[in-house]
Amino acid sequence: MGSQPMTDMDVLILAPFGKDSALIADALRHSSVQARVVPNAGDLVRTIPESGAAIIAEEALSREDIKELARNLESQPPWADFPIIVLTGGGVSTAATEVAARALAPLGNVALLERPLRHATLISAVRSALAARRRQYEIRDHLQQRKQTEDALREARDSLESLVEERTATLRRLSAQLLHVQDEERRRIARELHDSLGQYLAAAKVTLDTLAFSGESDNGCLSEAVQLIDQAIRETRTLSHLLHPPLLDAAGLASAVTWYVEGFAKRSGIKADLALPENPGRLPISVETALFRIMQEALTNVHRHSGSRRVDINLSVNDATAKLVIRDFGRGIPKQVVSGFEQSGTNVGVGLAGIRERVKELGGTLHVHSGGQGTTLEACVPITDQGGGVFATTPLSQIYSSLVS
């Protein structure tokens, strides 16, 4: 609604005795102010919402009329403050006139004009009242426009938040699927190394052994070749097991962790203390794979970055959760890096970011505590098989399509 022009706003007149109403209305109309005479207080109350101001003779209002008018004015919108000009009796102020003036206080925006009236004074008071009323309408329009703007901004914000949540969920599904694809690719390469390249190397070693025992060639060269083949077989087997340890599928997480930690200690020279539950049993494959990769990545970080000569690995399992705690005693991670990682997962290497994504995909929690005496990583995941649904039902091409749409 636009601002109501001053010339379009009626001035209500309630002066029940003599010709006061007609004279006041004629004076206002002569000054281009619209005027409407109302016969009683009831009609005045009903007409106020459509008008700009009111001129009321004080004798026209009883105490009950004042109470009714005050109740009506209290229901005005917050921006409204209806102006009322009250015509009082002229002459010296008396106790009765003081009481009458105080009785008008509940009406709020009241101006008193003493009679007899001067034309200029009346017109000035009316124009001031109408100007104030017009400013109230301008405030109303401003509040409406601000509310519309706020509503539009709120709608845009909600839309953006919804879009961000949707894209974040899509990215999380993509990250989870990429981790799954990575694990499957590691499993495939490990199988190929063991079943294909490993078998070829084993066959070559048998052939060289046969030649070495036949005495037909230089045994020194054959011996060296056999040693090289042995080394290639050992490294191929190690690489295959590191990519995806067969113990993880065959015997479960505890056996795979034990094998890996023992090998890590030998390869790195870092003393590794491992604590496992007595009878861990088998966990869902998604949980076992995630916890093994978390431990693998965490120990790699200890070896590369911490400078620690010792690491503690603790795996605990109850009916609802599995918890992996890895603690080193090295130089630690800067406080601002840990804080940024806890808040947004940024400003860290690929290893910690990958650990965080694996834990989030399983609906778990990850905390990193670091200081001058080392770093502790705590990963806790629920024991539910949550790894298959996303990968089985959401093709990778579909996730990419949703990201670029």
Compare 97 and 265 and report the one with higher pLDDT.
265
Q: Which residue has the tokens 């080193």?
A: 328
171 is a domain residue:
no
The average pLDDT across 193-221 equals 68
- At 67, the pLDDT band (50, 70, 90 cuts) reads confident
287 is a domain residue:
yes
Which domain-ending residue is among 134, 150, 166? 150
158 is a domain residue:
no
175 is a domain residue:
no
245 is a domain residue:
no
CATH of the domain at 26: 3.40.50.2300
Which domain-ending residue is among 92, 121, 150? 150
Count of domains for the chain: 2
CB neighbour list of residue 263: distance below 8 Å, 6 or more residues apart: 238
Q: Both 142 and 14 in a single domain?
A: yes
230 is a domain residue:
no
**Predicted pLDDT at 108:** 83
Q: How far apart are the first and last CA of the chain?
A: 40
> Cα-flanking dihedrals φ and ψ of residue 327, to 5°?
-125, 130
CB neighbour list of residue 188: distance below 8 Å, 6 or more residues apart: none
CATH of the domain at 322: 3.30.565.10
Least confident of 153-167, 183-197, 380-394: 380-394
Which domain-ending residue is among 100, 119, 150? 150
The first and second tokens of residue 114, run together, are 């003493």
Q: Both 140 and 274 in a single domain?
A: no
Tell me, yes or no, if the pTM score tops 0.75: no
Residue 103 structural domain? 6-150
Burial (Cβ within 10 Å: 0-12, 13-18, ≥19) of residue 329: middle
